Structure 1
Amino acid sequence: MSPLQGASPRSGPQQSAGGPGGAVPRRLRCLVEHGRHGLRAHRSVVGNAVRVTAASCVAFYLCRYALGLTVMSVYATFTVVSLGVLARIPGSGRQRATTVLTAIPAGLLLITLGTLLAVQTWAAVVGMLVIGFVVAYAGTTGPRIAGAAPGMQLLYILPCFPPYAPENLGQRLSGFLLGAILLALAQRSLVPEPDTPPFRRLLADAADAATRLADHHGGPLPVQALARAHRTGDALRPSRVPPADLPASPTLAHKAMAHATEAVRTLLARLETLHASAGPGSSYHAETVVLLQGIGDTARETAKALRRGKRLRPGEGPSAAVLQSELAPVRTHRAVDTLERLSGDDRLVYLRRRSLVVQAADCAVVLALATRLMLGDRSVERSPAGHTFSYAQARAHELWWQRLTTHLTPRSVIFQNACRFALGLAAARAVAGLLDLQHGFWVLLATLTLTRTTSLETWSAVRQALLGTLVGAVLAGGLLALVHDRDTVYAVVLPVVMLVAFIAGPLRGLAWAQGGFTLVVATLFAQVSPVTWQLAPVRLVDVLVGSLIGLACGLVAWPRGAGREVRRSMAGLCAAIADAIGYTTAQLIDRSGDPDCLAINRALVLAQESLAQYHCELRDERVGQPDWPSVLVAGADARRGERLLPGRPGRIAPQEVGAWLRRAADRAAADYRSLAGHLHADSDVPREDTRPLDIRALLAVAPSVPRDCPDREARALSAALLLDSVIWLDALTADLDRIRKEM
């Protein structure tokens, strides 16, 4: 018989060998293993708590007990807490440390302004209003600055309260410097966040995947290559990329990187569709094979340049010249051939299939040029496709100014949030100054940390914060009454309280965070100056006042957050798409009009920001919402045509063809304007099919291109430009049809 057969799990020699005393070690081992598993699962939270606790305690003990500088100790400690806990700086340990060190000049300026403006309440309030808005609005320039903004706000809040003591400015600045440096060292060396793959590597992987797809010229479907293409394209989605690695800043390199990302994702999508539509076992036309080979060579060179990452001189790097020379005759030949076959293709099935490889080649050219621009070669503007890079010669201050002014409108959720926070902080500073609250700093801190983008979220945060502060105040009052003025006990307890508070807050919620921070504040201030148990109820009152101010601002300033704004921004994007259709068509027909290239970009940015905030807000899940990403796809398609088509060779001719194209464009633009009107009015979008392009009317006016006519080349270029425009309008029409059905 097996030892396990016929034996009860609770009986046998093993039980007697261990005895009752063996249960305790086993339970301890289970608890230890459970704790280790929990630490691994929450490595980021625990690591950040360890780093902040270590840096703040070293800073505090050094300044308070070794140097005897109490003001410096407070500023050093709060610098670590503000930039390590209140701020949400994304990235690896190296990236976070770099962000902290980069923020030092701004921190020195904020502490100096706060110290000098504390001379009068009105000066501090005006400073809070202006600085609060500027710091919050600066988040438009990238996720790292946006993540650091709450902590930077605290650097002005801390010194802008009485007593007015400019003679302590040296200690304040020294404390800030010490805290920032210690935090940067901790971020880099103590349980650092792991490094993530550089964004250039993700682009290189996607370019390699495109190479694999382009190397397939017929036969069985390349299942592995298709799977890799889908995987690498998906890895470039903004939601999949760590915020610190996103090309989101207004620098030239990041703009080119975002341009390359759009190009390579479109390239992968077109190649996937090409192979899927061809079916298994099919063979490709010789022209298609030539273009696929050119796409593969260009993508391969691009991937190599991205992996090297070397700065390029003009003319270096991946070349698109060969592919462009192969693409031009194929485009014209296919246009002439396709135009003859449109009579039996009212739904443009044949045209769409024939255009896939041409569109893929266009994307490969843009990918190569964007990569060169990203790596420093501004000569891409001299390429035949260089008109798509209108920003290549822009100066740095122009790019930054464009980004900052993009959100300078009441329709931007970032502008709304900056106004909401600035008004709330200014009101809190005025109340704290007029009522002469003992610790007015805590009033502003509560307003800063509890104000949310909707009144519903703010009320939920206030309830949790008050509950947590109440419990924390009771515990802090008991601690202060029990320990009294024995600094040694507080010094021993401080790191434990900090570590527990900074772990429990992110893991257990806002109530735990507020309660834990109340204990941290009590333990810290008890070592700075004599305090009694009355400090705890004072903090509770201050948090209550700050919460009420934050709630009032949430009710007054855009209380619905992005819930209403997302519809307005999508309506604005639809209107911008309609304008882009009109501008681009006018350029194609008679080279007239002055297209506003920034309008569609601005509308896309505002729509993306409002949608991102909307997804982060509390809302009633029972209320259905349209598939807003479909509108963003239409915006990207409109922008792609606006960038590419006007710079193409040729001209739409004869006049009757131009008139047909203008009518088709006007009809598509009118449909998008109608959709914009319904969204702006918050009314239901009619569930009707979008009118397809009238191909029969086009064939009635489009002349044939005889093979022996003297101006065949010019007429072929005109035909190619016409069919590129038809495909573009057809894509926008399909986007609109999909949007209406999904709404």
Structure 2
Amino acid sequence: MRPRQEVSARRGPGRAAGGPGAAVLRAHRAVVGNALRVTAASCVAFYVCRYGLDLVVMSVYATFTVVALGALARIPGSGRQRAATVLTAIPAGLALLTLGTLLAVETWAAVLGMLVIGFLVAYAGTTGPRIAGAAPGMQLLYILPCFPPYAPDTLGQRLSGFLLGAVLLALAERLVLPEPDTPSFRRLLTEAADAAAGLADHHGGPVPGQALARARTAADALRPSRVPPADLPSSPTLAHKAMAHAAEAVRTLLARLVALHAVAGGRHAYRPETVALLQGISGAARAAAVALRRGGRLRPGEGPSPEALQRELAPARAHRALDSLELLSGDDRLVFLRRRSQVVQAADAAVVLVLATRLLLGDRTVDRNPAGHAFGYARSHAPELWWWRLTTHLTPRSVIFQNACRFALGLAAARAVAGLLDLQHGFWVLLATLTLTRTTSLETRSAVRQALIGTLVGALLAGGLLAVVHDRAAVYAVLLPLVMLPAFIVGPLRGLAWAQGGFTLVVATLFAQVSPVTWQLAPVRLLDVLAGSLIGLACGLVAWPRGAGREVSRSMAGVCSAVADAIGRTVACVVEPGTADVRGTAAVAGATGTAGTGGILAINRALALAQEGLAQYQSEPREETARQPDWPAVLVAGADARRGERLLPGRPGRITHHEVGAWLQRAAGDTAAGYRALAHRLCADDADAQDQRPPPRPSLDIRALLAVAPPIPRDSPDREARARSAALLLDSVIWLDALTADLTRIHQEV
């Protein structure tokens, strides 16, 4: 990550108003605050150990622990969150220091350990932004002891120094200009649920402008790009999965309610059944907000319940479906169906919100609810959830896997070079490889050029300083904070060259107090950085030199294939077996697996790979200035497909009419075939094949559905069962319509 990006990465996207000028001031404040914290903690640690206790090894490890976790790492969050992350990392840090010390006995053992541990530490970032942010610092904690001399007798000092440095850094994060707290994700959920309840309280009349504005603001605040990384529910724990599920549900609820009021216009009177549903939605959302605000585990019989809303929803869904089929003969536009389905979709989202809230507060029986099909993970144990997350990116098609391999290979190669050439300060070689390796060869070349320029200037200044001051330790002790603070401020603000030059001065000032040094330390530092830079550059050229440029297309193709599979699985579940004809069955051929947890995991994995690939792709510099495709449109299609696969198979009733089932199968097959063709196009290596725009796909043929849909007499003895089937049919049609519209939009953008 480039220094200018580190500022935004630490704070996350801001929500506060103030414009660009205020954002720059906040960024500068964050840099200055972090530099003050790192300087204060590292200097106190060094002075206490070096001059107070006269323990040289402990002083070095205490100081570098603060630098590793405070400056090199990119831990996101407020001061409280960052302090907690540092303290949580202590057990892992102790293990890494111990392994590094023991494996330093032989070069081959150190290289092998660097390869394995370097990969594991980098890959651990898949479990959340806090661990990902701490990973570079944790790498340094293993690198530092993994060099001669082999001195297991100093392990006690090394571990003590690490503990002291970690504790001092945690205290500094809390006490020295701490990063301000941000609203917790649960609070954002609460505000969104309250906004949904307030909007659902309006049952007609003038459009509620204030309530609409509040709903849009609450929904926007829950967008992942708007939430600080440390607050995102991104870990594989059950609570975070439930929180993310609740966020998706409440955003859908707000979107449907906003659309409902926008369609209604200025002075529309709702039908009694719509009013009843809106009242149920309001009550459910408000109960969820109350439970979220109160927190704590639910006791039996406590908390929000979706049952009242579901009692209103079931007959309303069926009757609305019958009315829609009868009225559709005079209006065959899908706009009519969309408008009629808004309130039903809102009610579905409110039910899911309540169930996700109950799961978040400890009720793991939500999967027993009639709408609990979407919560197949509710009874999964923690090891299963962590295993699913850790194996999601265990593929060469994942940019996280690629980055972990690139860093592990670079660090192992650097350790081999340092060991075989018996470099005096081999640690600096690995540090240069760690800090200068980028995800593309283009970016690595730029980083190496800047680093060498900065290191050269810093080495000249450091050589002059060492030659003038010589061995007067008291002068170095006074200079240390005066050199360290500007280095940690100017580096992130002015770029990599300034950062490397400043750090070279810091290293010279620090090591001059540890052991006798001369001006020759400066050129040694320059040569070590050059060696590490060349190794990083070689790894950048060999291991996926184009970064995420190719993988983003492949991962988006994977999402399209997963959408096609989800369409096949879902439609196979809602159509009674044996109902569809051979053509309909062949149309959705290629869908694998069954609807349920396995299917949801497949599309979740595709979305996770695509989201990580897109995030890295957007952060990488490009030589070309051509307009890039609107890749988020593909992610929207994946989210729409997942929403349908979560909800539709759990609905009551099945489509039993042969011609209707065949129509639905053919329509699903056409849409799935469109996504498969798009996936093939995105995976094509031929640029001409990618640039060739396929013909636009037609929307769903509602006239053909009306031609085969049988009328349902009002006095029919099985009217209720057929009404449930009609409701499921219309829900499936609306879902397919949304996916078809997504496909059309993607074709226009990609």
Deviation (angstroms), 1:316: 2.1
**CA–CA separation in structure 1 for the residues paired with 2:340 and 2:301:** 32
The equivalent residue for 2:267 is: 281
| Stretch deviating more after TM superposition (185-194 or 339-348) | 339-348
**CA–CA separation in structure 1 for the residues paired with 2:69 and 2:675:** 45
The equivalent residue for 2:7 is: none
Q: 1:733 to 1:89 in 2, by over 3 A?
A: same
**Cα contact 1:505–1:511 (8 A) shared by 2:** yes
Q: 1:62 to 1:328 in 2, by over 3 A?
A: same
- Tell whether 2:716 aligns with 1:730: no
**Cα contact 1:413–1:562 (8 A) shared by 2:** yes
The equivalent residue for 1:711 is: 718
The equivalent residue for 2:9 is: none
**CA–CA separation in structure 1 for the residues paired with 2:258 and 2:301:** 31
**CA–CA separation in structure 1 for the residues paired with 2:543 and 2:303:** 51
The equivalent residue for 1:16 is: none
Aligned with residue 741 of structure 1, among 726, 739, 748: 748
Q: Return the letter of the residue paired with 1:245.
A: D
Aligned with residue 528 of structure 1, among 507, 514, 519: 514
| Stretch deviating more after TM superposition (595-604 or 152-161) | 595-604
Q: Return the letter of the residue paired with 1:503.
A: I
**Cα contact 1:685–1:740 (8 A) shared by 2:** no
**CA–CA separation in structure 1 for the residues paired with 2:265 and 2:283:** 24
Aligned with residue 454 of structure 1, among 422, 428, 440: 440
**CA–CA separation in structure 2 for the residues paired with 1:37 and 1:46:** 14
User: Which secondary structure does the structure 2 equivalent of 1:563 belong to?
Assistant: coil
Deviation (angstroms), 1:591: 5.8
**CA–CA separation in structure 2 for the residues paired with 1:446 and 1:347:** 62
- Tell whether 2:415 aligns with 1:429: yes
Counterpart mapping for 1:157-236 below 5 A: 157-236=143-222
Deviation (angstroms), 1:342: 2.0
| 1:66-123 Cα shifts (integer Å, max 9, x gaps) | 1111000000000000000000001111111110111001000000000000011010
- Tell whether 2:565 aligns with 1:572: no
Aligned with residue 115 of structure 1, among 101, 113, 127: 101
Q: Return the letter of the residue paired with 1:673.
A: R
Deviation (angstroms), 1:423: 0.4
- Tell whether 2:380 aligns with 1:373: no
User: Which secondary structure does the structure 1 equivalent of 2:549 belong to?
Assistant: helix
**Cα contact 2:97–2:145 (8 A) shared by 1:** yes
| Stretch deviating more after TM superposition (500-509 or 620-629) | 620-629
The equivalent residue for 2:400 is: 414
The equivalent residue for 1:356 is: 342
The equivalent residue for 1:656 is: 659
Q: Return the letter of the residue paired with 1:708.
A: D
**CA–CA separation in structure 1 for the residues paired with 2:728 and 2:717:** 19
Aligned with residue 626 of structure 1, among 625, 629, 644: 629
Cα RMSD (Å) of the superposition?
1.3
| Stretch deviating more after TM superposition (345-354 or 148-157) | 345-354
- Tell whether 2:386 aligns with 1:400: yes
Q: Return the letter of the residue paired with 1:346.
A: D
Counterpart mapping for 1:53-132 below 5 A: 53-132=39-118
Deviation (angstroms), 1:344: 3.1
**Cα contact 1:688–1:741 (8 A) shared by 2:** no
Deviation (angstroms), 1:657: 1.1
Percent of residue pairs bearing the same amino acid type: 80
Q: Return the letter of the residue paired with 1:93.
A: G
Deviation (angstroms), 1:432: 0.7
Q: 1:291 to 1:453 in 2, by over 3 A?
A: same
Counterpart mapping for 1:295-694 below 5 A: 295-590=281-576, 594-595=594-595, 596-620=599-623, 622-682=625-685, 683-684=690-691, 686=693, 688-694=695-701
**CA–CA separation in structure 2 for the residues paired with 1:501 and 1:248:** 33
Deviation (angstroms), 1:687: 5.1
The equivalent residue for 1:23 is: none
Q: Return the letter of the residue paired with 1:676.
A: A
The equivalent residue for 2:12 is: none
| Stretch deviating more after TM superposition (509-518 or 220-229) | 220-229
With normalisation by structure 2, the TM-score equals 0.93
**Cα contact 1:39–1:46 (8 A) shared by 2:** no
Q: 1:193 to 1:693 in 2, by over 3 A?
A: same
**Cα contact 2:576–2:656 (8 A) shared by 1:** no
| Stretch deviating more after TM superposition (36-45 or 674-683) | 36-45
The equivalent residue for 2:5 is: none
**CA–CA separation in structure 2 for the residues paired with 1:346 and 1:411:** 44
**CA–CA separation in structure 2 for the residues paired with 1:357 and 1:685:** 40
| 1:193-223 Cα shifts (integer Å, max 9, x gaps) | 1111111111111111111211111111111
Deviation (angstroms), 1:165: 0.6
Deviation (angstroms), 1:53: 0.6
Q: Return the letter of the residue paired with 2:334.
A: L
The equivalent residue for 1:19 is: none
Q: 1:591 to 1:545 in 2, by over 3 A?
A: farther
Q: 1:687 to 1:277 in 2, by over 3 A?
A: farther
Q: Return the letter of the residue paired with 1:54.
A: A
The equivalent residue for 1:18 is: none
Q: 1:659 to 1:578 in 2, by over 3 A?
A: same
User: Which secondary structure does the structure 2 equivalent of 1:257 belong to?
Assistant: helix
Q: 1:136 to 1:528 in 2, by over 3 A?
A: same
Deviation (angstroms), 1:269: 0.7
The equivalent residue for 1:151 is: 137
- Tell whether 2:685 aligns with 1:699: no
**CA–CA separation in structure 2 for the residues paired with 1:441 and 1:314:** 58
Deviation (angstroms), 1:669: 0.4
User: Which secondary structure does the structure 1 equivalent of 2:365 belong to?
Assistant: helix
Q: Return the letter of the residue paired with 1:614.
A: Y
Deviation (angstroms), 1:643: 0.5
**Cα contact 2:61–2:161 (8 A) shared by 1:** yes
Deviation (angstroms), 1:167: 0.7
Deviation (angstroms), 1:347: 2.6
User: Which secondary structure does the structure 1 equivalent of 2:404 belong to?
Assistant: helix
Unaligned residue ranges in structure 2 (runs of 5+): 1-21, 579-592
Q: Return the letter of the residue paired with 2:714.
A: R
Unaligned residue ranges in structure 1 (runs of 5+): 1-35
| Stretch deviating more after TM superposition (306-315 or 694-703) | 306-315
With normalisation by structure 1, the TM-score equals 0.94
**Cα contact 1:679–1:685 (8 A) shared by 2:** no
Q: 1:38 to 1:319 in 2, by over 3 A?
A: closer
The equivalent residue for 1:17 is: none
**CA–CA separation in structure 2 for the residues paired with 1:308 and 1:406:** 34
**Cα contact 2:630–2:749 (8 A) shared by 1:** yes
| Stretch deviating more after TM superposition (547-556 or 304-313) | 304-313
Q: Return the letter of the residue paired with 1:590.
A: E
Q: Return the letter of the residue paired with 1:131.
A: I
**CA–CA separation in structure 2 for the residues paired with 1:41 and 1:122:** 44
**Cα contact 1:141–1:248 (8 A) shared by 2:** yes
**Cα contact 2:551–2:613 (8 A) shared by 1:** yes
Larger radius of gyration: 1
Deviation (angstroms), 1:702: 1.1
The equivalent residue for 2:19 is: none
Q: Return the letter of the residue paired with 2:181.
A: D
User: Which secondary structure does the structure 1 equivalent of 2:65 belong to?
Assistant: helix
Deviation (angstroms), 1:39: 7.2
